[in-house]
């Protein structure tokens, strides 16, 4: 049986301030680096088949301590990157809601079909990210595989694997910073066995 573990990257200044951060590539904060160390400390004894990240430094730095401890090279996949927020990158939800109330409400109501100006929809994220998940399942029939990705991307993947409407990813799936979400894949597909777990954090 394949156990596919998703970890959201550790804290950045943007996640700490809850700012839109998709294609922006901030480093981890000191707390974010400590989160990465806690992940490595907690899960180094597991037998890992592979470790995947996006190409953004916040996911690579989160995976690096564990990858170094277990001696596995990180596989970087651009398609696992965060949803692009276009013109809203670096801004807060409060600012956008005040300046562009109609656009903001349209996005809140259906982020699956309505992306931010110049950004992506949930459908577009699913279209690029799910083929990577399918390939991982083909290459790794069993064992533990880690995917270090991003808040919206993980939530969208979770909705897709559970057969939930993608437009509900923001209000149906929790994904705290550095949290762990796990699916086990059997004959009938994926079963969600852990969601947003942060028990590994000191």
Q: Name the one residue in this structure whose structure tokens are 């990180």.
A: 74
CA angle 54, 164, 196 (to 5 degrees): 50
Mean pLDDT of 146-152: 98
pLDDT of residue 188: 87
Mean pLDDT of 22-32: 98
Q: 156 in a domain, yes or no? A: yes
Question: Which residues span the domain enclosing 153?
Answer: 2-197
| Catalytic-labelled residue, pool 5, 77, 82, 150 | 82
User: From CA 177, how far away is CA 110, in angstroms rounded?
Assistant: 24
Q: 202 in a domain, yes or no? A: no
Q: Alpha carbon of 20 to those of 5, 49, 76, 103, 164: distances in Å?
A: 25, 33, 22, 15, 24
Q: 24 in a domain, yes or no? A: yes
Domain count, the chain: 1
CA angle 93, 12, 19 (to 5 degrees): 10
Q: 48 in a domain, yes or no? A: yes
pLDDT of residue 187: 84
Q: 32 in a domain, yes or no? A: yes
Q: How confident is the model at residue 184 (pLDDT cuts 50, 70, 90)?
A: very high
pLDDT of residue 175: 98
| Catalytic-labelled residue, pool 9, 77, 120, 150 | 9
Mean pLDDT of 74-81: 98
CATH at residue 54: 3.40.50.1240
What is the tens place of the pLDDT at every residue in 82-130? 999 999 999 999 999 999 999 999 999 999 999 999 999 999 999 999 9
Q: Is the pLDDT of residue 174 over 90?
A: yes
Q: Is the pLDDT of residue 194 over 90?
A: yes
Q: Is the pLDDT of residue 202 over 80?
A: no
Active site residue 82: yes
Q: Supply 66's token pair.
A: 């564990």
- pTM for the model stands at 0.97
């Amino acid at each position: 049986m394949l156990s596919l573990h998703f970890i959201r990257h550790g804290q950045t200044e943007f996640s700490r301030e809850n700012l839109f951060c998709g294609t922006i590539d901030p480093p981890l904060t000191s707390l974010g680096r400590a989160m990465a160390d806690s992940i490595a400390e907690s899960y180094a004894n597991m037998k890992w088949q592979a470790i995947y990240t996006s190409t953004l430094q916040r996911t690579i730095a989160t995976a690096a301590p564990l990858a170094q401890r277990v001696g596995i090279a990180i596989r970087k996949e651009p398609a696992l990157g965060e949803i692009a927020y276009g013109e809203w990158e670096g801004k807060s939800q409060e600012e956008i809601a005040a300046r562009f109330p109609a656009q903001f409400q349209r996005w809140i109501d259906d982020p699956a079909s309505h992306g931010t100006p110049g950004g992506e929809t949930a459908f577009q994220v699913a279209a690029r990210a799910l083929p990577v998940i399918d390939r991982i399942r083909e290459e790794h029939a069993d064992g533990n595989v880690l995917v270090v990705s991003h808040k919206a991307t993980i939530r969208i993947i979770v909705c897709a694997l559970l057969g939930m409407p993608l437009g509900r990813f923001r209000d149906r799936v929790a994904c705290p910073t550095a949290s762990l979400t796990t699916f086990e894949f059997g004959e009938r597909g994926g079963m969600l066995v852990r969601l947003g777990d942060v028990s590994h954090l000191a």
